Structure 1
Amino acid sequence: ILSLQNEQNVVEKYLETNNISKVVLESQQKAVDDIRSKVIDFRDQLREFFSNDLTKMSEDPSEEELIALQNTQEAAFEAMSLMAYYLNSQVDGNYIFGGGKDGQKPVDFPYTTLEEFQAAFDGKILTYPTSYSASLSKMSSLAELTGGATLAQDFQTLTPKANWEFVHTPEDILQNQPETNVLKGSVGEFSNLKAGERMKIEGTGANDGFKIIESISADGATVTFKDTVADEVLDNTSPAQIRQSLDTGTITAQSNAGDVINEFTVDTAANPLKINATNNTLTAQNAHTFDTVKAGQNITINGEVYYVKDVSNNGKTLTFSGDIPAQADLTGTVDFATRSDTRGFITDSLKGSELQTGDIAFYAKDNTMKAAVKGAFSSYKTGDTLIMQGADGNDRMYIVKSVSADGRTVAFDDSTPVAENMTIANGKGITIGKSYPVGATIDMSKTSGAHNGKYTVVGVSGDGKTLQVKTEDFPEYGDTVTYAAANVETDGYYEGGYLKTTYRVSENSAFSNDVTAASAAFEKLFRAMGEIAQGNLLDADNPESAYARVSDALDLVDSALNANSKEKNGDITSIQYSVISKLDLVKTTIDSQTASKESLTTYIDNMTKVDKTEAVTYLLQAKQDLEVSYSVLSAINQLSLLNYL
């Protein structure tokens, strides 16, 4: 009885947890089904909108077309809101798409109206993330690491190619001619200036100062101003220049040195140091001077950061990749300090080694980097920004385009090409830093409030010290502002975890559920809908952009819906199949365990719930039968041939 009762208790516990698992999977199934249905409706509406001439619409939209635009963007926003609602579903107090992280909604979507969303993502200065990495990377650079930050607005500068002629034409009432103020130059010379913006003129005799551009001629040779100019002709020997701010700026970390690992000094009077600029080396007179330095480390020499790609066996010589110290700076007592790789806006790093990567090869033709060890680069995702050190001519910033299934090959975006072919044995001296993805939204804080806020990353410097962001508010024309403290961190939609949930349905059967709100299919959908819902979809200054944005969004939606993705959980159909198959397993197991429980209950009841009177009667009858059997057996045992005779 005890054995059967123990078995019954085990079955009941499995049934209890399996019924909870069933509710979780049914909730996931309903959420995914409803998301799919809403997305299909949105795709149909987006395809209808895409059938218009979007370039023409951008240049001069009709009232009807503006209504179609509004309806399409509302549909995108509603689909995003519905996805956020379902992906934040809870069962028994736990977020079922949260990746094991409790107490925190996995999807951060605080917007209640399209207008709120567009106020945040205007589609011009702050744009919705443009890659998987930009959407989901979790990175931060605290003030203690950056040492503060310097902000500056980017700008373009023009000087006369040939002659510049400022012309003021007064109003002529009789001829019905309005006043005009223009600057004439060469064809195409002013094409990159922006109408409606101001520019700064310097180095002229009578026209220095700020002026607002009213228009630029189609051939880029003439600028018409809203402000008055004085007649003046300047040639290409003139110091005259025009400067106009761009819609990007830079955030530069005050410090590009990581935490100190080890410090030492060298007295050059007793141990002279010599630079060889040809070989990029620094050699000490005494052996073992640099024994504490390792290949692949950043090092500060008198406060300046350098990268060591190799150290001689006798500890006398450092070989640098990139900049080298000046000989004039290596006099007296020289301070050295090895530093961590996490510095500036580099948040993580990978070291080349025999075990980690094996040989690392760069191929200019294919624009790829390959490792000998399988899985060496599996942690990288499309859109990641990598900072290469120790690869000499290939030291720069790269954007990941794709990573092979075996994790050995990284293909880079065409905008960040590999400069030269090379192979580095065992990856010695290579450090691959990771920085903020291009297209990511970052949140900057601690700038005394003046420049706190969200920015879109559009570039990262080759040393990882500077982020280029979309902005119109940084100090202009070479002016800067420096803050003693500045925190920078990514601001994506996903706040959940990345743990798989393992369900043990019986003693011999279990499965894992790794579907989260960060699954690739959901990320694609958020990105596609964000691309449409954000502002500035119809841009008169860039009329071709609408076609590109809608086309990209449709491609993402198709990729997220159709069962052809090579990514894990890369499409809704695969997620549906995965959830349904697990749900079927749980339901089948529950049916089997319910039947088993009922059988065990019957067995136990048959043994414990009997009529005592009937049982005693049967016992006495059995006792009497047993006594008769013993009597007969005794008589038989006494039989022999002699007695018989």
Structure 2
Amino acid sequence: MSRVTDLSTQQLLVRQMMRTQQNLTEAEIQVTTEKKTQVYSGIVAQSHRLVSLEVSKTLSERYVQNNQTAELRLDSASTSLEAIEKSVSEFHRRLQSYKSNLSNPPVQDDTQELQKWALSSLKDLQSYLNLDVDGQYLFSGTKTTTQPVDLGLSTIDAFQAEYDGQKIKYPTTRDAHLQEFTMSNNGEGISAITDALTFDRDDTAGTSTLTIAPGTGSTQSFANLEPGSTITIADTGYNDGNYTIKSIDSNTQITIESTQLVTPTNAQPENVYIVKNDGTKIDWATSGGVTMAIGTGAASDTITARTAGGFSELSAGDIITIEGSGNSGENDKTFTIGSIDAAGTVITLDTKRFEDETTGGVVDSGGAEAATLTESGGTTYLPAATGNITFTAGPPGTLVAGTTGSLSGLAVGETFTVSGSTGNNKTYTVASNDGTTLRVNDWDISSATWYQGNDQNVEHRLNENRSIDMDFNAIDPAIEKAIRAMGIIAQGVYGTAGGLDQNTDRLDDAMYLLEDSLSFPTSGTPPFGAEQTGSFEQIAFDVGFMQVRVNTANESHESYVGFLDKNIGNIENVNLLEAITTMQDHARTLEASYQVFSRFQELSLNKYL
């Protein structure tokens, strides 16, 4: 029989159809996504475990990504190191060939070609060591945003102008090669105190020394400098320039590599032999001898022939060697000719040395003093014009005139000497001047390194419990030794006292360093003292081992991610066959519900009245 529904029955049917519709929608989502639910509350009993598994998976995937980046860095570093080793090996081969075919004197073209190859190899190494991946430099230690190597290379001429091989020599030890140092008296740099520098030129011993006299409370010294390194001296009266340190005494005195005559022990003129660069020996005993004179002030030393025009065959830039001088051969050395007069009689030597000077270290005068200031040009500032002068220790040291504006004639950069004071009779350089107050002597000593990174290791974490240290950088002993060997060969112009042709012992020195860098240990005695262990062979092994560890870690992570995926799937993935069956059941139920509801809608009491 048919029954007419009332309102409550109709609403019940609608709610049932809506619930069935919702169940169908959820079933369709399950079939489409193959997931039991889209929210954790849908699997309350296992949600905590699921979240834990997903966190572990995310962490492992992040380690995989980081390890892939590390793998790229290591692969790039390995490629760069292979290229560096190839370049070093090729230079070693060329050096070996040159050494095997060495003549006396060495062939100029062959020597210059070898030196050009040394510079070219240095440029190659600099390029490979400045490799960056994703904006991070590989060989800078932890300073990954800083380009690690700057050898200041341009042309072989520029390199040899900087390192002439005699006055300025390329560093021969690791410590000297990597030295970085700053000392000043102007309130800047690592050390800045009221210390006095004394430059001393000893013509009898033929030495030039620099001594620091620490001021009150100062501990400043040369302890951080290394023999063989190059220093730059600035803002002194007479001794600005680059110098190579020969030795250091008690951390307070430096002796530089100098080229100068020693005060002759024999009366002048004296009979000596002068050997030209081609080996020709001139006996001046038959020509009245020569006069060797020490230059005064900043003037260079000279050799004057007793016979006019006796040096007419020589030219500026030639090298000569003196033999048989004095009682003990005090001037039996090799010199480079700076110039020769037009008559060919007087040789002016290319002299490198300090000039006597004491700078810095202004002492408190405790009051105004009647001191006199004398400019380097001869102008004198007397107390009658300046008034008494007050000296005040710095840094920077200052001199204040009693008469306003009386010192206005002293220009910045001008040197002057003080006399008539108590403790301040020295030479100073004007740093600033307002006419009344002079700020003086901002002297500075510095030594720059070609390596701009640091020696700290980059730590890379493989997982929560394991990490590796990427401990390769541009100052690895193998790399540093190779760079040093190439620099030693490249220095010095052919035909000069510092040229490779005049210093063939450098061939063996460089050969040892190259062989020691390619494969440690090397037979023979280190030419410059014990070297740090390290070779390209060892670097390749270390980097290769890092690559294996990173790759193994990634394989482990990827395997673990697969295991986690399986367990996560067991929790959240739906049985697709069951889900489809359920969806079809809900669809048929909903369809039947619509049919029943439609039939109910067609019934009316009018049919029974």
C-alpha distance in 2 between matches for 1:601 and 1:567: 53
Q: 1:542 to 1:79 in 2, by over 3 A?
A: closer
C-alpha distance in 2 between matches for 1:549 and 1:121: 14
> Residue 90 of structure 1 corresponds to which residue in structure 2?
132
Moved more, 117-126 or 600-609: 600-609
In the TM superposition, residue 32 of structure 1 has moved relative to its aligned partner by 1.0
Q: 1:437 to 1:606 in 2, by over 3 A?
A: same
Matched, 1:49 2:101: no
Matched, 1:250 2:127: no
1:517 to 474, 478, 490: 474
- How do 1:441-452 residues align onto structure 2 when only pairs under 5 Å count? 441-447=230-236, 451-452=239-240
Matched, 1:603 2:560: no
Contact 1:560 1:571 in 2 (8 A): yes
2:143 to 97, 101, 109: 101
In the TM superposition, residue 546 of structure 1 has moved relative to its aligned partner by 2.7
Amino acid in the other structure paired with 2:197 = A
> Residue 510 of structure 2 corresponds to which residue in structure 1?
553
In the TM superposition, residue 112 of structure 1 has moved relative to its aligned partner by 2.0
Q: 1:3 to 1:154 in 2, by over 3 A?
A: same
Contact 2:78 2:540 in 1 (8 A): yes
Matched, 1:481 2:440: no
> Residue 74 of structure 1 corresponds to which residue in structure 2?
116
Contact 1:150 1:482 in 2 (8 A): yes
Contact 1:89 1:96 in 2 (8 A): yes
C-alpha distance in 2 between matches for 1:524 and 1:601: 51
Count the aligned residue pairs. Answer: 354
In the TM superposition, residue 498 of structure 1 has moved relative to its aligned partner by 1.5
Q: 1:452 to 1:13 in 2, by over 3 A?
A: farther
Q: TM-score, normalised by structure 2?
A: 0.53
The DSSP-based 3-state class of the residue aligned with 1:455 is: strand
1:571 to 535, 545, 550: 535
In the TM superposition, residue 445 of structure 1 has moved relative to its aligned partner by 2.7
Matched, 1:4 2:53: yes
Contact 1:18 1:505 in 2 (8 A): yes
In the TM superposition, residue 147 of structure 1 has moved relative to its aligned partner by 2.4
In the TM superposition, residue 537 of structure 1 has moved relative to its aligned partner by 5.8
Q: 1:471 to 1:18 in 2, by over 3 A?
A: farther
> Residue 558 of structure 2 corresponds to which residue in structure 1?
594
Q: 1:435 to 1:467 in 2, by over 3 A?
A: farther
> Residue 343 of structure 1 corresponds to which residue in structure 2?
220
The DSSP-based 3-state class of the residue aligned with 1:251 is: strand
In the TM superposition, residue 513 of structure 1 has moved relative to its aligned partner by 2.0
In the TM superposition, residue 538 of structure 1 has moved relative to its aligned partner by 5.5
C-alpha distance in 2 between matches for 1:117 and 1:479: 26
C-alpha distance in 2 between matches for 1:555 and 1:100: 31
> Residue 464 of structure 1 corresponds to which residue in structure 2?
252
C-alpha distance in 2 between matches for 1:538 and 1:550: 16
The DSSP-based 3-state class of the residue aligned with 1:457 is: strand
C-alpha distance in 2 between matches for 1:69 and 1:542: 9
C-alpha distance in 1 between matches for 2:532 and 2:545: 16
> Residue 614 of structure 1 corresponds to which residue in structure 2?
578
> Residue 195 of structure 2 corresponds to which residue in structure 1?
147
Contact 1:249 1:471 in 2 (8 A): no
Q: 1:543 to 1:503 in 2, by over 3 A?
A: closer
Q: 1:104 to 1:620 in 2, by over 3 A?
A: closer
In the TM superposition, residue 119 of structure 1 has moved relative to its aligned partner by 1.6
Deviating 4+ runs (over 3 angstroms): 150-154, 450-453, 469-479, 536-545, 565-569, 615-621
The DSSP-based 3-state class of the residue aligned with 2:462 is: strand
**Cα deviations by residue, 1:218-238 (Å, 9 ceiling, x for unpaired):** xxxxxxxxxxxxxxxxxxxxx
Amino acid in the other structure paired with 1:120 = E
The DSSP-based 3-state class of the residue aligned with 1:252 is: strand
In the TM superposition, residue 470 of structure 1 has moved relative to its aligned partner by 4.0
C-alpha distance in 2 between matches for 1:146 and 1:527: 36
Q: 1:568 to 1:508 in 2, by over 3 A?
A: farther
Amino acid in the other structure paired with 2:228 = G
Q: Gaps spanning 5+ residues in structure 2: where? A: 1-49, 186-191, 261-294, 302-353, 360-440, 523-529, 586-609
Amino acid in the other structure paired with 1:66 = Q
In the TM superposition, residue 9 of structure 1 has moved relative to its aligned partner by 1.1
Q: 1:518 to 1:145 in 2, by over 3 A?
A: farther
C-alpha distance in 2 between matches for 1:146 and 1:470: 28
Contact 1:250 1:468 in 2 (8 A): yes
Contact 1:520 1:570 in 2 (8 A): yes
In the TM superposition, residue 585 of structure 1 has moved relative to its aligned partner by 1.0
In the TM superposition, residue 137 of structure 1 has moved relative to its aligned partner by 2.8
**Cα deviations by residue, 1:454-476 (Å, 9 ceiling, x for unpaired):** 22111223351444344779846
The DSSP-based 3-state class of the residue aligned with 1:45 is: helix
Amino acid in the other structure paired with 2:357 = V
C-alpha distance in 2 between matches for 1:573 and 1:514: 15
Contact 2:239 2:355 in 1 (8 A): no
More helix by share: 2
**Cα deviations by residue, 1:588-631 (Å, 9 ceiling, x for unpaired):** 2222222322342343245334267824968999xxxxxxxxxx
Contact 1:146 1:486 in 2 (8 A): no
Q: 1:3 to 1:481 in 2, by over 3 A?
A: same
In the TM superposition, residue 532 of structure 1 has moved relative to its aligned partner by 0.4
Contact 1:149 1:485 in 2 (8 A): no
The DSSP-based 3-state class of the residue aligned with 1:111 is: coil
The DSSP-based 3-state class of the residue aligned with 2:203 is: strand
More strand by share: 1
> Residue 88 of structure 2 corresponds to which residue in structure 1?
39
Identity among equivalent pairs (%):
27
Matched, 1:532 2:489: yes
C-alpha distance in 1 between matches for 2:174 and 2:220: 24
Contact 1:42 1:75 in 2 (8 A): yes
Matched, 1:436 2:225: yes
Contact 2:129 2:474 in 1 (8 A): yes
Contact 2:165 2:499 in 1 (8 A): no
1:14 to 60, 63, 85: 63
Q: 1:443 to 1:471 in 2, by over 3 A?
A: farther
C-alpha distance in 1 between matches for 2:546 and 2:584: 56
In the TM superposition, residue 130 of structure 1 has moved relative to its aligned partner by 1.0
In the TM superposition, residue 138 of structure 1 has moved relative to its aligned partner by 2.9
In the TM superposition, residue 152 of structure 1 has moved relative to its aligned partner by 4.3
**Cα deviations by residue, 1:16-47 (Å, 9 ceiling, x for unpaired):** 21112111111211111101101111111001
In the TM superposition, residue 153 of structure 1 has moved relative to its aligned partner by 4.0
The DSSP-based 3-state class of the residue aligned with 1:104 is: coil
Q: 1:506 to 1:99 in 2, by over 3 A?
A: same
Which has the larger Rg? Answer: 2
C-alpha distance in 1 between matches for 2:51 and 2:532: 47
> Residue 508 of structure 1 corresponds to which residue in structure 2?
465
Amino acid in the other structure paired with 2:214 = N
